[in-house]
Structure 1
């Protein structure tokens, strides 16, 4: 079942929100005294019927309702914030929203069992939101109490929402551990690099995600189709792969491209691939395998490595030969350089623009996980990953260890980074396709419309994806979604 935190046309009964705190927008540095929007972009979702997320719901009510300044009374007085904090006067609307969220998330059988499951789901959603508020307000005592209750109910092998809740509990616990004492501003920097923690286990998890979920394969399909079109009739072609397709073993994407070049192109072009990333040995191993693979199919391939992460990439590191056609490939990579200052991303986009590629392929998670408010990010992430866990629930049995590895070693790491990290440590800064469209336009890129919707739908059928996955086109981009929720968006850009 798809997760819809708020159904359209729902009747809200204005109950009192059952939490110790009102819904408070907390800036990362905890010094804000005003409320901008929770996200930069519009909530409109025309390609798929976007169900309203909790974050979007709060945002819309904030813009329509009155906002009152919070008084330092009751439980909030002990927080001693340096600045006044604004509250939404319509916070009572959240209560019914939470109840509807649980009903949509849990679903169940008829009769008493359905009522009990919905009641449990409602309680779990309420506890999660209350705990997030307590963590945002730095109330360690109340947050710790709620975390202990959540750990008993958020089961790794439970229902799909219990499983996703377990990941959010981990993230909230990590964030709480980094909270400074009351009266100070901000959060201490995490010494743990979440992305690199348990690297070998994560490699196995990402391989399973690639094999079982269509998310990454969808990006590879769109990218390779666009690259083949750009290389049509050319004798010397060059692909610069940012992040080298997530470090997947065997160069899956480029094996597929080599197969397609051999089948479709005569005479065969001379192919160069430049992998960008910090793990040189791993990239060279992939490159050696690809060169052997290409040679066995009669294709000349030259592989090279640029040892650098995207933040430190220099234009002189990428060598372009006269007469070759260049394509830049980015699969779930550029969001990692979206920082508060925007300087890092602008620098990377400027380097790419100066290389004058025939096309830049951009594949990213389509969700708003980079807003300035912790609670806004929390709600958006809860909505997004609930849909992903629901899709996994439909694909694999309850106690399947492969599913547990994907959820706990791959998606949970993304969730924990979004929830528990701030500043440079927070690298999972996913944004919606509309926001990427604005960023790319400001950097001087123009949309290269993808006209392969029919082929993409045929591809989805060919890989035997379970019912519930959809591919739609919006403004020249292709979006893979699970039921009513967009998951991954693919777009192409030209200079």
Structure 2
């Protein structure tokens, strides 16, 4: 294992960055003085809290939140954003029962219609979902779902009607292929495995991991359904799929991550918005500690450094970035070195502190080396969902953060429910969610782009885990924003308003990517929801502790 580093702040002069290697604190945290903490870790901090599987909420429409900035504010943010973008260039180098199971198709249609009508206004510029040339992937899925439900509800022997269609010559009809996928999922739910496998053989005639977005989607979902069949029939075990997914999602390749970040709008829209929210909440602090729960390559941290180094009002005396890592999301030494060099070039006093633990239950507030003169902020980009399958760890982490009492905690998560105990519901949710991503890939990346292949293969492992795995092997248990709102409420957290400047950042990035017609931004209470052609994909919210 590579050594981990943190910057030694003892006797550090201003504007000097240096660090020393430290051993894995997962081992250090097991010294005798922490024995009693393990008893504490087994406690349920909030006995009244419901399990994620039991949380059900109304997904009714929320009112959009119009906003507008002054011309001066717009100009300032545009300039800042333009400078920030330069930092992101990668370095070289049964019928009724069945219909009930597929009711989520109607929910997805309802959500799509809501997204079409929701807008966020920013300085006279509207970003709204609308149809673009041809059909989007998720419009094809929605239309196929409507035909599937209509066919199944019109006939008691609905399969015979679909079965007739399945043997025609329209093997290239995208809607028909999606209906085959839906029918195959239904048959798996009814334990008609050979029938389901036969349907998937038809899908193979159309699917391709090198084709158009819908062909690629069918390719990965067909593979996931085959894996589900094999596991149900005892031909394979789910462990290998889970292990492969953990490896991919927690440690994606550097080049692929940087390439997607530079070329895809989703990440940058939410990242710039979250960064702006944090910066505004530490605007009066001279010594700042940003705690990052998933720093990866630290690209976004360069934005913090650049902004804080150029701050004229209440100049920053020192910036400390604390990166939290586990055995799954390791932190490379190069991240700290790169950020330290960049801070030095900006003449900013900087230190980089890494906390790495074998288990989240080994984390405690003492490891953060908190300074009473520092103002702390927590940034959690798409990390909390990885602990839903280990809710004791999730609750423990939140308890540690509550002890730290940061001025703000900014959270980005996926806006999808992959936590349903019903396999068919997860299947449909995932179909729309990944359909949106593959559709976006199709607009911004070439069909034979190697980074696109790598990203889609990683998605394929995630799809298999969502569709095929059950019990403890099902790692992907993402939930929607309304569930997180309820969860955070159990920790005496209150949601903070996202400022007009933060929301403007989101609209500005979307405009720079020229995706205003496809990308929707709407407010769900105080949370920002990003959608792609009618399908919600990401959420962002800011929180503080009472």
Residue 43 in 1 paired to residue 59 in 2? Answer: yes
Secondary structure of the residue aligned to 1:361 is strand
Paired position in structure 2 for 1:64: none
Paired position in structure 2 for 1:145: 198
Residue 440 in 1 paired to residue 488 in 2? Answer: yes
Query: How big is each residue's C-alpha offset from its partner over 1:150-178, in whole Å with a ceiling of 9 and x where there is no partner?
Result: 22321112232111111112222223332
Q: CA deviation at 1:231?
A: 1.4
The answer (yes or no) to whether the contact 1:38–1:55 under 8 Å persists in 2 is no
Q: CA deviation at 1:119?
A: 7.2
Q: CA deviation at 1:461?
A: 1.8
Paired position in structure 1 for 2:18: none
The one of 385, 388, 408 equivalent to 1:335 is: 385
Equivalent residues in 2 for 1:451-462, closer than 5 Å: 451-452=499-500, 453-462=503-512
Secondary structure of the residue aligned to 2:372 is coil
Does 139-148 or 481-490 show the bigger shift? 139-148
Superposition RMSD on alpha carbons, in Å?
3.4
Paired position in structure 2 for 1:124: 177
Equivalent residues in 2 for 1:479-490, closer than 5 Å: 479-490=529-540
Paired position in structure 2 for 1:344: 393
Equivalent residues in 2 for 1:266-415, closer than 5 Å: 266-278=314-326, 282-308=331-357, 311-315=360-364, 316-339=366-389, 342-409=391-458, 411-415=459-463
Residue 476 in 1 paired to residue 526 in 2? Answer: yes
- The TM-score with structure 2 as length reference comes to 0.66
**Inter-partner Cα distance in structure 2 for 1:393 and 1:427:** 27
Secondary structure of the residue aligned to 1:273 is strand
Paired position in structure 2 for 1:254: 301
The one of 421, 446, 450 equivalent to 2:498 is: 450
> Cα 1:324–1:38, aligned 2, differ >3 Å: closer, same or farther?
closer
Q: CA deviation at 1:459?
A: 3.2
Secondary structure of the residue aligned to 1:272 is strand
Paired position in structure 2 for 1:159: 212
Number of matched residues? Answer: 402
Q: CA deviation at 1:377?
A: 0.6
Q: CA deviation at 1:412?
A: 2.3
Query: How big is each residue's C-alpha offset from its partner over 1:285-339, in whole Å with a ceiling of 9 and x where there is no partner?
Result: 2011111111111111111111136743522433211221111111011011112
> Cα 1:58–1:484, aligned 2, differ >3 Å: closer, same or farther?
closer
Secondary structure of the residue aligned to 1:95 is helix
> Cα 1:60–1:416, aligned 2, differ >3 Å: closer, same or farther?
closer
**Inter-partner Cα distance in structure 1 for 2:450 and 2:330:** 30
**Inter-partner Cα distance in structure 2 for 1:189 and 1:414:** 12
Query: How big is each residue's C-alpha offset from its partner over 1:420-457, in whole Å with a ceiling of 9 and x where there is no partner?
Result: 22333323222111111111112221001112323421
Q: CA deviation at 1:97?
A: 7.5
**Inter-partner Cα distance in structure 2 for 1:230 and 1:92:** 46
Unaligned 5+ residue runs, structure 1? 1-36, 62-90, 100-114
Q: CA deviation at 1:189?
A: 4.4
Secondary structure of the residue aligned to 1:489 is strand
> Cα 1:154–1:118, aligned 2, differ >3 Å: closer, same or farther?
closer
**Structure ranking higher on relative contact order (CA contacts 8 Å, 6+ apart):** 2
Q: CA deviation at 1:94?
A: 4.5
Query: How big is each residue's C-alpha offset from its partner over 1:205-235, in whole Å with a ceiling of 9 and x where there is no partner?
Result: 3333212212222232122111111211212
**Inter-partner Cα distance in structure 1 for 2:359 and 2:61:** 30
**Inter-partner Cα distance in structure 1 for 2:63 and 2:447:** 31
**Inter-partner Cα distance in structure 1 for 2:266 and 2:504:** 18
> Cα 1:60–1:218, aligned 2, differ >3 Å: closer, same or farther?
closer
The one of 163, 170, 177 equivalent to 2:223 is: 170
Secondary structure of the residue aligned to 1:153 is coil
**Inter-partner Cα distance in structure 2 for 1:387 and 1:117:** 24
Does 251-260 or 129-138 show the bigger shift? 129-138
Secondary structure of the residue aligned to 1:338 is helix
Paired position in structure 2 for 1:135: 188
**Inter-partner Cα distance in structure 2 for 1:311 and 1:426:** 19
The answer (yes or no) to whether the contact 1:335–1:427 under 8 Å persists in 2 is no
Secondary structure of the residue aligned to 2:475 is coil
Residue 493 in 1 paired to residue 543 in 2? Answer: yes
- The TM-score with structure 1 as length reference comes to 0.73
The answer (yes or no) to whether the contact 1:310–1:337 under 8 Å persists in 2 is no
> Cα 1:232–1:367, aligned 2, differ >3 Å: closer, same or farther?
same
